[in-house]
Structure 1
Amino acid sequence: MLIKPPVDALIFDMDGTLWDAVETYAQSWNEYFKQHGITRHISKADIQGYMGLEAAAYLEKVLPANSIEERIAIYKEVVVIQYQLIAAVGGTLYNGVIEGLQALSKKYKLFIVSNCPAHTIHYFIQWANIGGLITDTVAHGQTGKPKCENIQLLIEKYTFQSPVYIGDTNGDAVQSRLAKVPFVFVDYGFGSSTDYVARFSSFTALADYFLAL
């Protein structure tokens, strides 16, 4: 472990780090196809490997035959359905997330930075009932910026001196490095990485470590 105290903020990725809502995301695509009479079905496995990508790269994978303009128009409709489904059925929180966030919030300011649509984090927080635990959030869909710049937005806004970013993919590691923030890897999510300062196999283990730091 190369994390040295004091740490003054924990910035979390969302998908693959705090919860798994890929089944819900797939369902939103399938509902769109159904509404438009399109004979296509997307499974969780089809899009799981695309989690964490920025919108343009994600849509290129999901809608390779469509133009950029068509992808954007389709995704706007899909995202509206996604918000409705998250509010109704949510996803699956990883073990220990609620208890861990509750305990960590007493010691640290907690944040979420994700490459998701503009309001997905909001609906996630509402569904999980963790609004009182999270200080602020930034989504790629809000700013159109890469994750490294969104991390920097929070650093500048709150004048952090020693934050860390916690995520589940090598893309998160790359963006953390670009933001000049130590990357903490959780290996129970959607990706892999060898570029991290600390690695955890459960949210409980992560929370215990930072509580004891």
Structure 2
Amino acid sequence: MDSIIFDLDGTLWDSRKTVAAAWNAAIEQNKLDAEPITVEDLKSTMGLQMPDIMKKLFPQYDEAARNELIQTCGEIECVYLKKSGGVLYPEVKEIIGQLAEKYPLYIVSNCQEGYIEAFLAFHEMEEYFKDFENPGRTGLTKGENIQLLMERNGLKDPIYVGDTKGDQQAAEYAGIPFVYAAYGFGEVESFEQKIDRFEHLLEVAELA
């Protein structure tokens, strides 16, 4: 293992409360007749790309209306996250600091551009991560973004840490081992290793 690539939502933090507030502000701004988005609504969308999330949450609207909402949600969401952040899982910042002393760390998440930046800025973790990628910037799938990041940084033997079946499939697509964060949002049956708490990643990294 020469590096660690992380998913974000359900792996490093839970931003659903802030995101729900931002999306409800976007619904109001776009004057849509839609029920307010709840934290529980967002749980079922974790791991999906934005167009698929919008289709799932707003099936009553056509693609044009959903695309307009994607733009508004993305803009408001990043503002809210920079101000309020999300909830880090226990000991994430401390353990990330320990891991960064031995391994280059990266993030690949299915999010819009600005989302990972907001996470890093609010929790003051920019120094720990060498690079990151997302479909908002590339238009690629998560597996393709993992491959892109690996090629860009010359990674030969990384692991991918995530919490959903989509994360597992992305790691498989990229041809790298998957570490299942079982405390997150998804249920995954196929993985190389499983962690029940974030601190257990120290054992995977042989730092415990």
Structure 1 stretch displaced more, 89-98 or 53-62:
53-62
Query: Does the aligned pair in 1 maintain the 2:27–2:69 contact within 8 Å?
Result: no
- For structure 1, which runs of at least 5 residues remain unmatched after alignment? 1-6
What pairs up with 1:35-184 in 2 under 5 angstroms?
35-39=29-33, 40-184=35-179
Q: RMSD over aligned Cα, in angstroms?
A: 1.3
Query: Does the aligned pair in 2 maintain the 1:107–1:211 contact within 8 Å?
Result: no
Aligned AA (2:27): F
How far did residue 206 of structure 1 move? 1.0
Local SS of the residue matching 2:180: strand
Aligned AA (2:21): Q
1:17 and 2:33 are equivalent in the alignment: no
How far did residue 208 of structure 1 move? 3.8
- For structure 2, which runs of at least 5 residues remain unmatched after alignment? none
Identity of aligned residues (%): 34
For residues 164-212 of structure 1, what are the alpha-carbon distances to aligned partners after superposition, in whole Å with 9 as ceiling and x for unaligned?
A: 1000001110111011011000111110101100000111111243143
How far did residue 37 of structure 1 move? 4.2
Number of residue pairs the alignment of both structures matches: 207
For normalisation by structure 1, the TM-score amounts to 0.93
Aligned AA (2:106): F
For residues 120-154 of structure 1, what are the alpha-carbon distances to aligned partners after superposition, in whole Å with 9 as ceiling and x for unaligned?
A: 00011001100000000001111110011100011
Local SS of the residue matching 2:106: strand
Query: Does the aligned pair in 1 maintain the 2:51–2:70 contact within 8 Å?
Result: no
Q: 2 CA distance for matches of 1:123 and 1:111? A: 15
Match of 2:205 in 1: 210
Query: Does the aligned pair in 2 maintain the 1:101–1:207 contact within 8 Å?
Result: no
